[in-house]
Amino acid sequence: MQYDPAGFWYQIDVPGTGTVPITENSTIEMTYTASLFNGNVVDQYNDASHLQPFDVPDLIQGVQIALKKYATAGALIRIIMPSSLAYGKTGSGSVPPNSCFRFDVQVRSISP
């Protein structure tokens, strides 16, 4: 894995083949799994046959930064991030406060 100065680690398992960059104004279709370091999956969307659009500003900060810097359509990227780039001190739903995360994201398409 490689370290990004924003504070997370990432690994590009499959480079993207798309030419449209991901920006703050993008809407992306993706599959993903979000898990805690103990292996508990706290969120996932893996139905590639019925993809949902996600607006980039609605994603957690660490995923936004990583996708904008390192992904295009077709990319499969793993992101390890501290709680400060995920759900922080308060947590969210089934996510305990101060939880570090692993996100596995496959970008399927990007709309500018």
The answer to whether 108 touches 48, Cβ cutoff 8 Å, is yes
The per-residue pLDDT for range 20-61, each reduced to its tens digit, is 999 999 999 999 999 998 999 999 998 888 888 999 999 999
The per-residue pLDDT for range 81-111, each reduced to its tens digit, is 999 999 999 988 888 999 999 999 999 999 9
pLDDT at 47: 87
What one-character-per-residue DSSP string does 24-71 give? TT-EEEEEEEEEETTS-EEEEE--TTSPPEEEGGGS-HHHHHHHHHH-
Question: Mapping DSSP to helix (H, G, I), strand (E, B) and coil, where does residue 83 land?
Answer: helix
Given this structure, which CATH class describes domain 2-107? alpha beta
pLDDT at 60: 93
For the question of whether the overall pTM of this predicted structure is more than 0.75, the answer is: yes
Domain boundaries defined on the chain: 2-107
pLDDT at 48: 81
Question: Mapping DSSP to helix (H, G, I), strand (E, B) and coil, where does residue 93 land?
Answer: coil
